[in-house]
Amino acid sequence: MRFRLFIILSLFFLSGRALAQGIEGYGDHSLWVLVNDIKRDFKRETGIPLQLLPELAVGGTGCAKGILHAASGTPDRHFGLVCCGLRENTVKEYGLVVYPVAKEPLSIIVNAKNPVKGLTLKQVRDMFSGRLLNWKAAGGRDEPIVVVTRLHCKEHIPNWLMILSSPAKFRAKRVDVASEFAMAKTVADFPQAVGHLEVTSVREFPGGIKVIPVDGRLPTSENLSKGLYPLSTTLSVVTKGEAGPLVMRFIEYLRKSPRVKRAMKKYGMHQVE
């Protein structure tokens, strides 16, 4: 009887300690922005403190940092944020469990002064592959197309694979950049440029660029939810092993909370239940 009471009290103590510490996440910029938006509501509604590291996760290595944060932590407290699909060997190597929580569109961006009002998915792919070299063929000016790429996270399944299925298929004569900021700035600096950028990042770099409809559709949450926009990726939370109760509560909150759904709509994402 005393032993059973000791076990119950110990579990209660450990549960209370875990709740006091809260949970801690790190990684992908798009999910970081979303979680930062809803973290106060999450704590108010669940009583679970939530901390994000660092204060701004940018620089093009968010997925790698999210994976390492999860793998070096404990599943009852630590989680990673990733924007790429993870290959089976990565999941096995780090002992991860992947929890999809959102879909995010990949926007096609051009210079704000570009007169083109929309592109087909075929035209997008032809531009990035080098089969289409002049804007005139897409309804624009008689000017050469400057292709700007950010082929990040090649060891995973990144969003740019929705455009072309391997780096070798992209046009050899192109401008490669290392970050979302560099992508936006480069497209803003070159009137003939075309690039690709996560919708969340488009909100942060509004000057000098514009988002082009693809197949007549803009990369919005509504179009994504209806399957009308053709370019997207899945955003996920990862843990080392099965998520503990507190982290699982957070994952379910991302998947089901109306507050999160409203935030995702603002950022152009779609909730994955």
Tokens coding 184: 């936006």
258 CB neighbour count, 10 Å cutoff: 8
| Domains detected in the chain | 9-104+233-271 (3.40.190.10), 105-225 (3.40.190.10)
124, 247 Cβ separation under 8 angstroms: no
184 CB neighbour count, 10 Å cutoff: 23
For residue 104, CA distances in Å to 18, 123, 169, 200 come to 32, 21, 23, 8
In this prediction the pTM is 0.87
Phi and psi angles of residue 191, each rounded to the nearest 5 degrees, phi first = -60, -25
Nearest-CA neighbor of 81 among 57, 59, 105, 104?
57
240, 94 Cβ separation under 8 angstroms: yes
pLDDT tens-digit series, residues 173-225: 999 998 888 999 999 999 999 999 999 888 887 689 999 999 999 999 999 99
235 CB neighbour count, 10 Å cutoff: 27
pLDDT tens-digit series, residues 215-229: 999 999 999 999 999
What does the H/E/C string look like for 148-204?
Answer: EECCCCCCCECHHHHCCCCHHHCCCCCEECCCHHHHHHHHHHCCCEEEEEEHHHHHH
Residue 264 DSSP code: H
Whether 7 shows a pLDDT value over 50: the answer reads: no
Nearest-CA neighbor of 235 among 105, 146, 119, 95?
105
Confidence at 60, pLDDT banded by 50, 70, 90: low
The pLDDT assigned to 9 comes to 38
Dihedral sign for Cα atoms in the order 169, 170, 172, 178 = negative
pLDDT tens-digit series, residues 99-146: 999 999 999 999 999 999 999 999 999 999 999 999 999 999 999 999
